[in-house]
Chains A and B, each alone.
Chain A
Amino acid sequence: MSDERKDVTPPPGDAGEDVTEEKHSEKTAAESSAASAGASAAGADAEEQAAKEKAAQAGGAAEAGEPAADAAPAEGAERPRRVETPEEKEARRAAARAARDAAKAQAAKEAAAQAGGAAEAGEPAADAAPAEGAERPRRVETPEEKEARRAAARAARDAAKAQAAKEAAAQAGGASEAGEPAADAAPAEGAERPRRVETPEEKEARRAAARAARDAAKAGAGGGAAGAAPAAKPEAPAAPKEPSPNQPLLDRLVAIIGERVGADAVEEAFLNERDADVPTVIVKPAHWRQTAEVLREHPELKLDYLRNVSGVDQETHLEVVYHLISFVLKQNYCFKVKTDRETPSVPSITPVWETANWNEREIFDLLGVDFPGHPDLRRIMMPDDWVGHPLRKDYQPIDPEV
């Protein structure tokens, strides 16, 4: 009934390593390299298509382009595997470099073209790339190597093109689907080969090529983003793919706050896609106390239960996050209040929800946020004479020995 049990208990330190080794070895090397490149959400696995689409939608243009990037090494790294003389190695590196440059030039050109003007800027770069890349491999170059270099260059160029196509699509208003098939096709083609054995050199080559392609993708994204920015920005929070059932709730919530507290109380309102579309509202500190009372009393909200209060150091500012639920209407909401780092202060809501008392003390203790209106604001976890607020990102203990 039960499967065979692994009898080797790993040492406690390697807890991070043990996640289904075998399953992953089945994945293609290209895929795992995609994962290591940080594109985990955009892995080329067909089953993870949904996740990928989401990632792409969220604006992860760079990730979406990455699978394509892996095609380059896959194909290019194939040949020189068996014996590699120093010359070959050198040649291979040069090839990778050339590919990188070519891709960069390509991306730059495309970006420039997209931007409308300044095509000249792209041109010299394109010229420079081959000039530099052609220098090295000239000395010794077997036909195989030449072939490998060309393949790598081709793959990188394809990647850059795919990227450009995608960006064009994004600019046109449609999301990044257009770019995706191309990006997917590339690894599918190249991924097959290098799976079996991979020498350190090959790995190195693959990584180098992946890096090159990634750079290309970034360059492309940069150009595209600059053009698309004004069009894309207002769209992002307000227009989810298919309107969520929570959208009316959010709209109503904003309307209620606007009408009962003040039109300028809401700083920002959006649905948290990562968290089941929870309506999330950022409230201005000055209006928070009054908003809290409205939230608790209003017949359409009745947020009687404060589940959790968290403090977050966002480095640019501090944030206090409130998760609320209505026991009557069974609806979750999330509220945030932003405050600056130098003199952080958020009105206390302990008079509204008693449970905020110790939570606010904890945030005061660990992050240093002042809560005017709190009945008994003092440290709760750290000793009273402690210096500093440990959960701050820049916290330095006064005595490193402690």
Chain B
Amino acid sequence: MIRTEELLLNVGPQHPSTHGVFRIVVKLDGEIIIEADPVMGYLHRGTEKLAEELTYTQIIPYTDRMDYVSAMTNNYVLVNAVEKLMQIEIPERAQFLRLIVMELQRIASHLVWWGTYLLDIGAMSPFLFAFRDREIIINLFNELCGARLTYNYMRVGGVKWDAPDGWLDKVRDFLPYMRKKLDEYDTLVSGNEIFLARIKGVGAYDADTAIQYGLSGANLRCTGVDWDLRKAQPYCIYDRFEFDVPLGRSGDCYDRYLIRLEEIRQSIRILEQALEQFPEGGETMGKAPRVLRAPEGEIYSAIESPRGEIGCYIVSRGKDKPYRLKFRRPSFVNLQILPKLLVGETMTNLITILGGIDIVVGEVDC
């Protein structure tokens, strides 16, 4: 008889596969996880508390630092909520610029995920490819607003900067390049036997579970639930463009993988149409008062970030600062299902499943 004992193992907070400072305490029976308890808060900066002392424009840079891999969509969720509350009209040109940067951001974010996910499960070179291609987008953003990660680009009423000369052409040139690279990624990884053995059927759940846990983004759509806020509750000008919402069937890590790659293709489609219809001239800032005093009331406004439904709940008492600002962070909500998925899995699959959920700890902790 072999005497076995339960082992309590601390994974993190400093661990390469946790994508930030995040800890999971796992109880192991041999190599099988029998209990997992995520521990977070290492990156909690109290953004919501700080926001209560800041004007709406001053909060925008804080949103950059929540999901720092997708700052543009975070910018948007805040300014969009304030604009709705104040009923501010956004000029056409600003709408297009917003949409273009948000879709570029979605591509960049999914590339980070793709690269790091494969790195997690042991493939080094895809990471280099992904970061090479993402660099082009980062440079485009740098040219547009002078920052590589924390853009602070959007404003209540429009965007801070107009596109510099030739910028749109650079975006246009990037799209066919990216499409070609995606095919390369597929050839390199998507059909790889070892890769499939690692992720197919791992971390699977059904649609009811996904809804019950409030999952969103690829984590929800991998179960076949057709819910993308860009289509379901269109914001910005998404209703003007044709694109598909890729859905999975089996709800496992492989479906989530395929969905994210397909979403890059769909983003390219949206970008092509947006560049086609991009208005000549026009303002980049609408009529926003210099002091933004949102009228008394409250609003919940949500958009589709690369990670899922990111929402912003504002309670205003008519001041230039929010009375209460709450962010619904998709990483935080999606991560809840992790302990459930981990039970009965091996330690290797912990990395696969956690990576598949696609979290950014800056957003989990907020």
Q: Which residues in A have some Cβ–Cβ distance to B below 8 Å?
A: 1-3, 5-6, 9, 12, 15-21, 23-24, 32, 35-36, 38, 40-41, 43, 45, 47-48, 50-51, 54-55, 58, 60, 272-275, 278, 304-308, 310-313, 321, 323, 327, 330, 334, 353-355, 357-359, 366, 379-383, 390-391
10 pairs of residues in contact across A and B, judged by CB atoms under 8 Å: A1-B280, A18-B160, A54-B87, A354-B214, A354-B336, A358-B335, A380-B40, A381-B40, A383-B41, A391-B324
A45-B287 in contact (CB<8A) = yes
The residue that A19 contacts in the complex, of B48, B155, B161, B301, with Cβ under 8 A, is: B155
State whether A51 and B44 are in contact (beta carbons under 8 Å apart), knowing that A20-B288, A304-B211, A307-B311 are contacts in the complex: no
With known contacts A45-B287, A312-B324, A40–B293 Cβ distance under 8 A = yes
Cβ contact within 8 Å between B324 and A313 = yes
**Does A382 contact B44, Cβ atoms closer than 8 Å?**
yes
Q: Which residues of A sit under 8 angstroms from B58, Cβ to Cβ?
A: 15-16
A274 touches B85 (CB 8 A): yes
Contact flag A323-B49 (CB < 8 Å), given A5-B164, A15-B61, A358-B332:
no
Q: With A and B bound together, what is the CA distance between A20 and B225 in angstroms? A: 42
Which residues of B from 256 to 303 have beta carbons under 8 Å from A?
280-281, 284-285, 287-293, 295-302
Given A1-B165, A9-B146, A45-B287, CB of A273 within 8 Å of CB of B297: yes
State the CA gap A313–B48 with chains docked (Å): 12
Nearest-Cβ distance from residue A371 to partner chain B, whole angstroms = 15
Contact of A35 among B213, B291, B295, B299 (CB under 8 A): B291
The answer to whether B57 touches A310, judged by C-beta atoms less than 8 angstroms apart, is no
Checking A16, A41, A274 against B57 with a beta-carbon cut-off of 8 angstroms, the contacting residue is A16
A334 to B298, alpha carbons, bound, how many Å? Answer: 11
Q: Is the CB of B336 within 8 A of A357?
A: yes
> Across the interface, do A3 and B281 meet the contact criterion of CB distance under 8 Å?
yes
B55 interface hit (Cβ, 8 Å): yes
Number of interface residues of B (CB under 8 A): 70
Question: B290 touching A358 by the CB < 8 A rule?
Answer: no
| Contacting pair B285 A334 (CB below 8 A) | no
Residues 288-322 of B, flagged 1 when their CB comes within 8 A of A and 0 if not, give: 11111101111111100000010101010010000
**Which of B48, B60, B288, B302 has a CB less than 8 Å from the CB of A307?**
B302
Contact B297 A272 (CB under 8 A): yes
Q: Specify which chain B residues have a CB less than 8 angstroms from the CB of A306 in the assembled complex.
A: 214
* Cross-chain contact A381 with B213 (CB below 8 angstroms): no
Query: Which one of B40, B49, B300 has the greatest number of beta carbons of chain A within 10 Å?
Result: B300
Closest-by-CB residue of A relative to B214 is A355
Q: Which of B291, B315, B318, B336 contacts A312 (CB 8 A)?
A: B315
Q: Assess the B295–A358 pair: CB atoms within 8 A.
A: no
Cα of A54 to Cα of B85 in the assembled complex, Å: 12
* Best-buried of A50, A354, A357 by chain B (most CB within 10 Å): A354
Contact of A323 (CB < 8 Å), options: B165, B285, B300, B318: B300
Interchain CB contact under 8 A, B299 and A275: yes
Q: Could you tell me the distance in whole angstroms from the C-beta of A190 to the nearest C-beta in chain B?
A: 20
Q: Is B246 an interface residue (CB 8 A)?
A: no
| B152 CB–A CB distance under 8 Å | yes
- Chain B nearest CB from A290 CB (Å) reads 19
